[in-house]
Chains A and B, each alone.
Chain A
Amino acid sequence: GQQLNQSPQSMFIQEGEDVSMNCTSSSIFNTWLWYKQEPGEGPVLLIALYKAGELTSNGRLTAQFGITRKDSFLNISASIPSDVGIYFCAGRNSGGSNYKLTFGKGTLLTVNP
């Protein structure tokens, strides 16, 4: 099946620093999604990307859909303590009869105040 490699696995940063994480795939995706998951909660959608090369921002978050359609990255600028959580990338294809998401293993972000 499709594999997503997400890196880094974890990050420990100081408040105010910028953060960058990325996701690569062994195959092409038509959609890339970035989610954040906090302890005891389900993942919450942050940004959705639908076209190769697309660059989309949501507040301090910026994500890009790689032009090869096999990768995506997420940047967080000027991190704050509430950015703590696990960030997941997810890819989706629209072929066949379903549109299931394939998730990466996540990046655990810790922000030191």
Chain B
Amino acid sequence: EAGVAQSPRYKIIEKRQSVAFWCNPISGHATLYWYQQILGQGPKLLIQFQNNGVVDDSQLPKDRFSAERLKGVDSTLKIQPAKLEDSAVYLCASSFVRTGNYGYTFGSGTRLTVV
């Protein structure tokens, strides 16, 4: 079974620029999550999708972050404009059922550096 695919693996941008990350979940997984992991901390949920609908985006900084999951499969997370504090690893995860009873499967992440 193919895992959760993310691209790019690394990205370096200047502050105030925009950036986009892409995620393709495991086939058949209806629930997709984007997490932000700042160095030295655990992942923090940004947004959760169930198919193509948003279930939870309470911790998404909506003034600069946006995400979509058209057609309920792959997803894009965008930051515009980026700030220095956005430097982090952005992890995408998916689960088969909404409750994620078997835990999530995470991708390898995109490491963003804002300079």
Contact = CB atoms under 8 A, between A and B. Distances in A.
A105 B99 contact: no
Interface residues of B, number: 25
A48 B107 contact: no
B25 interface: no
B48 to A, nearest CB: 6
A36 to B, nearest CB: 11
B41 A42 contact: no
Interface string A45-73: 10010100000000000000000000000
Contact of A42 (B99, B100, B106): B106
Interface residues of A, number: 26
A100 B108 contact: no
Interface string B85-115: 0000001010000111111111111000000
26 contacts: A31-B101, A35-B103, A40-B108, A40-B109, A42-B91, A42-B93, A42-B107, A42-B109, A45-B102, A45-B104, A50-B101, A88-B42, A97-B55, A97-B56, A98-B55, A98-B56, A99-B99, A99-B100, A100-B45, A101-B100, A101-B104, A103-B42, A105-B40, A105-B42, A106-B40, A106-B41
Interface of A: 4, 6, 31, 33, 35, 40-45, 48, 50, 88, 90, 92, 94, 97-101, 103-106
